Amino acid sequence: MDEMEKAAAGLLYDANHDPGLVEKRRAAKRLLFELNGLHPDEEMRRHVLFRRLLGRTGEAFTFDGAFHCDYGFNIEIGENFYANVNLVILDGAKVTIGRNCFIAPNVGIYTAGHPLDAEQRAMGLEYARPVTIGDDVWIGAGVSILPGATIGAGSVIAAGSVVRGDVPPNVICAGNPARVIREITESDRARYR
């Protein structure tokens, strides 16, 4: 089992010294360097590069400003995806984001974690757990989504929250750690009319 297979299986793997993984990250960094340096009017070129970088995209998607990731190929985004500035996705494991998702500025989605044992950390070992975000989710500014988190369709994650574990569909979730505040109801649809 190579290091990428270990990562996909949720086992400890050597992300820092394995030549294959190091080169995969370098390849992503090369694309990101070009992407993050493009003029805003070069939208077509941005789309071409994002399609080369990411594992899957919809037809319509927007990344405003800088974006950073580890590998890119582990990231799948659905149709009508929108990310504001400074999105960071550490994608040692699969990150799946549904359609019609909005991500506010300064959000971090992290699949990577490190052992509690200092000796294992010093060896450069880490683990990765997939993150899944359902359709029609809004992630507020400054949110951190931790390894293994799942966010149900239609939910809203309030600014500054730290998400771990599972968030059910159609709820407002807030805090550190994030917890369900309330369900999103029909009255929320009428709120802005």
114 a catalytic residue: yes
Contacts of 50 (CB under 8 A, 6+ apart): 35, 57, 61, 63
Count of other CB atoms within 10 angstroms of residue 51: 11
CB-based contact 140:156 (threshold 8 Å): yes
Q: Please tell me whether residue 90 adopts helix, strand or coil conformation.
A: strand
Tokens found for residue 103: 């991500």
Residue whose tokens read 């580890």:
70
Q: Pick the catalytic residue from 39, 47, 68, 114.
A: 114
Distance CA 52, CA 70 (A): 14
CA pair distance 69, 160, nearest whole angstrom: 20
Give the containing element (helix H, strand E) for 156: strand 156-157
Q: Under DSSP, is residue 80 helix (H, G, I), strand (E, B) or coil? A: coil
What are the residue numbers of the active site?
Answer: 114
